[in-house]
Structure 1
Amino acid sequence: MPSQAVLRWFSSFAPHPLAVSWRERLRSCFGALLGIAATGASMHWLLGPQAQVPFLIAPMGASAVLLFGVPASPLAQPWSFIGGNLVAATLGVLAAMWVHDPIVAAALGLSAAICVMFALRCVHPPSGAVALTAVLGGPSIHALGLRFVLEPVALQSFVLLASAIVYHTLTGHRYPHVSRPSAQAAPGVSGITRADIEAIVRERGELIDVASDDLESLVHEAQLLAYARGFSELKCTDIMSQAAISVSSETTAAAAWRLLERHRIKALPVVDEARRVVGIVTRTDFVGRTAFGLRGPRGRRLSLWRDASEARRVDDLMTPNVRTVDADQSVAQLIPVFAHYGHHHIPVVDEGRRLIGMLTQSDLIGGLHRQTQTRQLRTA
């Protein structure tokens, strides 16, 4: 019936559920507060209280929503933010100069800004408001002319971007957003490649506010999680490497590096006298930081600390508060840890947090593969 169709149409207006924790929401809100406050205060300090340039323009509020609320969005990345704002400001000012009718100028400036942002791959929705501000901002904005592009747009954009980078770094969040490598496809699960995803996106012919790398990663993680759910009886102890090589925090960094080289491994758990895990040191920790004249791959000499010696210890390099998993934890619960949080090596501990093994992505995939083969033999 038509009335049911109308009701379904209105029901589509209902908000979609947000899979965002309250902690993350509060973190975003506080970040926006600090970002806008820092931007306004910087403008006041740099330009002085008598400046004719507005300390804050309204589009910066919309940009703050993206930079602090949805920092993983392609529309919130630095190039989109800076490039979009500068393009929109320039075209908005030019439209206001060349077209006397404000409505026509606003329409032309906005449409031209969208066109150029698409061409330069710097689409940033709040930049549309920047173009309109250049046209409709009133005499004080018009008096600035092309200076409006630099002050306030460019200046405020760079300050807000710097605030976002610093805040996300201090709160342990990735920004600028760099897509993680997609999870390995599980044995027996049909693989969906990035090329497949990009082909579907191109066929839809519209901008989707998720990067292709992130879409690929989400699909593969979901595949692996669905596959592993059928192996809930498989525990970490069933697939871990039991002969885990470890070091103490007093071990010299040179000795730790030699262990990594000798055993051809990528990470060493750091344990105390009771074998409790207190950190982890990886090959990445040595790059650009070691100072022992050690040789890397193909004899390449690692970059050195000038004042270092054999006395430099592992606790100068290690990452403390390392993520661990319990020995009896289900393998299915490891998928988000490896895939979503970007871990590659996870120590396995007992009830006393003592090290009993090591898990890698290869161990996970290999364990699932062996379990699959065992099931196939049982059903054959």
Structure 2
Amino acid sequence: MVREQYKILRSAGLEQCACYCQAELQLTRHVTLESPALDVMTDLRRVQAVTIGPDATIPAANKAMQRNNVRSLLVADERRCILGIITSTDTLGEKPMHIVRERGVLHEDVLVRDIMTTRDYLEVLDIDDVRAAEVGHVVATLKWTGRQHALVAEKDPAGRQMIRGIFSATQISRQLGEAIQTTQIASTFAEIEAVIAH
């Protein structure tokens, strides 16, 4: 039965210094190395992915990271296809200065595409493996690869690979309450497999 009359809700004036609510970050709760890996994954089904186009400038990428309080951006084209990833280490490190010296351009003219890690150099973790993993597995993986971030993928119903989540060493450190030191040991999982095979 549909009601025909509804009571009017009480309203009040907006206070002078009223703020707005933000999504509660569930990722800030404390974890241990034995906690489920999903507890430290940024789940892109719950949190909007922060992306940038390949032709954006480095200053624009830095502003996007600051505005969204993240340290990495997925680089995507207009069809939402992932072209790569760019991190604050990329934008604030030596890569932009190398391009400036090499091409004789201004720093503000260096583009995301010039310094991003391209899709060819990115590996992803499978969501099913992550569901069965603990935080310690993710920490070990980040340390072994020497990376600050790891992408997690799943297949959509059509079989297309989709980025489902992101692990961040910085976020995991916050939740663990201890620093995670990652050093560049190998740059791809293929290199790791090659080392293990020999």
TM-score by length of 2: 0.50
Larger radius of gyration: 1
Higher strand share: 2
